[in-house]
Amino acid sequence: MQPRGDDTIIDQKKFVECLGKVVYVKEISPLEIDFEIMGKILLKGKMKITPGISETIEIIFKSPYGRGTIMECKNDVVVKYEGVMGNEMKRKIEECASLSLVKKVS
The whole-number pLDDT of residue 4 equals 43
Q: Taking Cα atoms as reference points, which of 92, 68, 65 lies closest to residue 80?
A: 68
The whole-number pLDDT of residue 87 equals 92
The whole-number pLDDT of residue 27 equals 93
Residue 105 DSSP class: P
pTM, full prediction: 0.81
Over residues 55-70, the pLDDT tens digits come to 789 999 998 899 999 9
| Count of alpha carbons within 13 angstroms of residue 7, beta-carbon side | 3
With a cut of 60, say whether residue 3 has pLDDT above it: no
What's the CATH fold of domain 8-99?
Answer: Alpha-D-Glucose-1,6-Bisphosphate; Chain A, domain 4 (3.30.530)
Over residues 10-52, the pLDDT tens digits come to 788 899 999 999 999 999 998 999 999 998 889 999 999 888 7
